[in-house]
Structure 1
Amino acid sequence: MFDVVCVGFGPANIALAVALDEIWPAARVKFVEREPAPCWQPAMMLDGADIQNNPVRDLVTPRNPRSRYTFVNYLHEQGRLFKHLNLPAHHPLRKEFARYIQWVAETVPADIDYGQDVTAIRLAEGGVEVRTADGTVYPGRSVVVAPGRSPYVPDVFGGLEFPRAVHTSRFLPGIADLDRDWAGTLAVVGASQSSIEVMLDLSTRFPSARVVNVMSGYGYRLKDTSPFSEEVYFPEFVDYYYAASEEGKQRLRDQLRPTNYSSADRDVIDALYMRMYEDELDERNRMTMLGNRLITAARPGESGVVLDLTERITGAREQLAADRVILATGYRDLGTKGRTEQLPPLLREVADVLQVDPQTGLKVGIDYRVENSAAGAGAPPIYINGLCESTHGLGDAGSFSLLALRSKAIVDSLRQRLAAPATV
């Protein structure tokens, strides 16, 4: 039996693997990953796209800046440190950070089974069982779940199959069959950073295509990058947010939403505006913005998709025919309201022993351990690595900022709780 079975080997659990190696190397730990090899956001490896955060907030530096696994040491070992320091950019390219993540995954001495699709987590004698699609069973005294957030696909698009409707989590595979001379119409839904990145990529990749951006607001908004607002990614903010009432948490979310959601960095906003202006100058009608549009229906058309749109100010109605729709609509978080899910799908079979509030959702401790229900007294420790924005704040919203410190909190908690004999 393993001390810990970790589901997923993306950035969150890779950071956990480093923390385990550096803090608790004697632990018996197994990582189980669905993909055949380590990767990060392979469907959004777009030319020119960056990571939007300081690279020192990597998998390990905030916890242990002397570690071998820092981004700076990665650059040093690859012989690119001075070249990188000379880049005329604020943030690293997403391609390079993805290679850093892969390098850490391949370098850290972790026990990983790739190509194993976890289908269930169940309670068992003395701990848990993690089961995979091929029938493999991994027994453990505890489990850490890091599945990543589920893509959010609005209900209106529920009747469309891939690749007619493509979420950005599958963007590159969704357009892989189109050649450079393709001259159809692509609709991009959303007004976030990824929306602009997709718009810029499509207009370069398919110069003869028509790209239409549909959004519910008037236009793109600048991300709030004030250093005062960016303190939401400090560890002190996690404690402040966690201790707040539910009303206080909602107030903070409303205030701080533009630091991460429904907004974009100035560099990509400027690049898109300039490209659209130049197209207009050259009398090329390649890119169109449809703001303040509510999509009331999306149905299969003769060769693609037909969207029914309502202008939210004037009430005017129109239709947009597109060959494909790219959904830059974000991801679900844990919770009970809006774009949320009550708990990660992999925890459904152990839901009876977990504390779930019908109003606020899953009860997660400050150490990221899911708290037990009355019926779950004595159940093994179950942790969620990521997904905890509703309980821990924006640092858990898919950001790298607190990965390293979160991994330390989980490892410290695991060591404390597993020091005692396993209970049934």
Structure 2
Amino acid sequence: MSGIGFWPANIALAIALEELDFTGARLFLERHSSTKWQPDMMLSGSDIQNHPSRDLVTPRNPRSRYTFTNFLFENDRLFEHLNLGLEFPLRSEFAEYVRWGVGFFARDVAYNQTVTTIQVDPVSNLYCVATQTGNEFFARSLVLAPGRTPVIPQAFSECASDQVFHLTQYLGRLAQLTQQRELKRIAMVGGSQSAIEIMLHLRHSYPQLEIINVQRGYGFRLKDTSQFSEHVYFPSFVDQYYNSSAEAKKNINRHLHYTNYSAADADVISELYVGMYEDKLQGKNRITIKNFSEIQHCTSTVQDYSLTVLDTQGQTAEQLPDLDAVVLATGFRNLETGTQDELFPTILRDLAESLDCDTQGVIRISRDYRVSATGLS
């Protein structure tokens, strides 16, 4: 068995294989030099927005030694952590927990292995995974955990990635820019939790910086954290969703969209609102929110970028010039047929003709997350 990517999904798999006494050969291929969970979003004070028991193992095996609680215990922080009174763990501590879990499986991971192609070897009928280093790995089965593909809207497709970048590159790109110049004006596109977290980070880190938020909605929406909505995490709900028709799934998606997307927790919304009010008391206008707005164009000048923003209410366009950077909190591609979706993860492109797909060409994923391929054993 070969795993592509060694992030939480495949780390959890590695733990399960050990605890279930799997005796077969396995190797996980990771393109980075080490496993770092969300390294470009390690913002001070940010949390994981999830109960700590939704960790790498607890829902499957609460008695495992790989739980977040045992991680705290083994690192002599259990009582201090409990004393914090936090609803959700800090993102930096959960990232440490992920690294701690990785440390037990060093023998099962090959780092610096960027997968370039996945094909079927006609002689052995095994999957052949080729990497950028020239290595080839053969496996009877593959487990793919490449992560979701960031959405880069068409208006930004031709922009230089050092100044216009997705939030998944935020801290690294920001560090590069601050070495080159003093940052004066940054645009933040999107209305999600991550968008607010980045705006708060910019506000605290760069006192003279002007921040302009552009979003389609009226304002930052409170995330749906009702106990009833949280049933989406129950296995019984996954069964219900999987067995629903395509139209029923669309209806579920519409109703549950704000449990995880285009919304934010109350604490960061309040912190941003209070911060903007505090700026107003001091006669400052550091943060501007352009609501009901869409980006029409992004144009480069000698050193900066300019956005053409459409007010969708009045149908009037406005220029936002002199931007040192544009940060895109624009989400990730879904497995659907929309203009910003994808039919299958790009890593499967060489197997596309063999994949079992629905009538619209989207790959079928079974209840056990298996992807079937015709003509392959």
- The whole-number CA distance in structure 2 between the counterparts of 1:359 and 1:283 is 55
Look up the match of 2:295.
295
Deviations 1:183-229 (A, max 9, x none): 41000000000000000001111111111111111100000000001
- In structure 2, what is the Cα distance between the partners aligned to 1:19 and 1:241? 24
1:51-96, CA deviations, whole angstroms, 9 ceiling, x for partnerless residues?
0000101000000111110000000001000011011321000000
Amino acid at match of 2:78: L
1:7 aligns with 2:4: yes
* Corresponding residue for residue 175 of structure 1: 174
Q: Which shifted more, 122-131 or 57-66?
A: 122-131
CA distance in 1, matches of 2:24, 2:132: 26
8 Å Cα contact 1:17-1:110 kept in structure 2: no
Matched to 2:54, the amino acid is R
Residue aligning to 1:18: 15
Query: What do the CA deviations read for 1:2-25 (whole angstroms, capped 9, x no partner)?
Result: xx0111001110000001111133
Whole-Å Cα distance in 1 between the matches of residues 57 and 197 of structure 2?
28
8 Å Cα contact 2:149-2:333 kept in structure 1? yes
Tell me how far apart the structure 2 counterparts of residues 183 and 154 of structure 1 sit (CA, whole Å): 24
Tell me by how many angstroms 1:285 deviates: 1.8
What count of residue pairs does the alignment treat as equivalent? 373
Q: Aligned pair 1:65/2:66, yes or no?
A: no
Spell out the pairing of 1:103-142 with structure 2 (5 A cutoff): 103-108=100-105, 110-124=107-121, 125-142=124-141
Return closer, same or farther for 1:183/1:176 CA change in 2, 3 Å cut-off: closer
**What pairs with 1:74-153 in structure 2 (closer than 5 Å)?**
74-108=71-105, 110-124=107-121, 125-153=124-152
What is the DSSP-based 3-state SS (H/G/I as helix, E as strand, rest coil) of the residue aligned with 1:130?
strand
* Structure 1 residue 301: Cα displacement: 2.1
Q: Aligned residue for 2:208?
A: 208
Q: What is the deviation of 1:359?
A: 2.0
Identical aligned residues as a percent = 45
Aligned-partner SS, 2:127 = strand
CA separation in 2, counterparts of 1:206 and 1:357? 49
SS in 2 for 1:357: coil
Q: CA deviation at 1:369?
A: 1.0
Q: Distance in 1 between matches of 2:104 and 2:372?
A: 33
- State the distance in 1 between where 2:117 and 2:332 align: 22
Measure the CA separation in 1 of the matches of 2:353 and 2:161.
34
Distance in structure 2 (CA, Å) of the matches to 1:92 and 1:324: 30
What is the 5 A alignment of 1:214-229?
214-229=214-229
Q: Given the two structures, how large is their TM-score scaled by the length of structure 2?
A: 0.96
Letter of the aligned partner of 2:160 in structure 1? E
Counterparts of 2:333 and 2:233, CA distance in 1: 20
Give the whole-Å Cα distance in 2 for the aligned partners of 1:24 and 1:39: 27
How far apart, in 2, do the equivalents of 1:34 and 1:98 lie? 18
Mapped contact 2:163–2:177 kept (Cα < 8 A): no
Q: How does 1:251-330 map to 2 (within 5 A)?
A: 251-321=251-321, 322-330=323-331
Report if the CA contact (8 A) 1:182-1:209 is conserved.
no
- Indicate the residue corresponding to 1:346 in structure 2: 347
Q: Would you say the 8 A contact 1:53–1:91 is kept in 2? A: yes
Are 1:34 and 2:3 an aligned pair? no
Deviations 1:261-306 (A, max 9, x none): 1100000000000000000001122111111111111111232111
SS at match of 1:39: coil
CA contact (8 A) 1:20 1:27 kept: no
2:245 alignment partner in structure 1: 245
**Which SS does the other structure have where 1:218 is aligned?**
coil
Shift of 1:164: 1.8
Q: Does the 8 A contact of 1:336 with 1:358 survive in 2? A: no
- Please identify runs of 4+ aligned residues in structure 1 that moved more than 4 A: 178-181
Q: Is the contact made by 2:209 and 2:286 (CA closer than 8 Å) also made in structure 1?
A: yes
Measured on the aligned residues, the alpha-carbon RMSD in Å equals 1.4
The higher relative CO (CA closer than 8 Å, separation ≥ 6) is in 1
| Per-residue CA distance 1:138-197 (angstroms, 9 max, x = gap) | 111111111000111101111101122011010011110344993410000000000000
Distance in 1 separating the partners of 2:361 and 2:199: 36
In structure 1, the gaps of 5 or more residues are: 381-424
* TM norm structure 1: 0.86
Q: In structure 2, list runs of 5 or more residues that go unmatched.
A: none
**Whole-angstrom CA distance in 2 between matches of 1:354 and 1:310:** 40
Question: What amino acid is aligned across from residue 185 of structure 1 in structure 2?
Answer: R
Residue 47 of structure 2: SS of its match in structure 1? Answer: coil
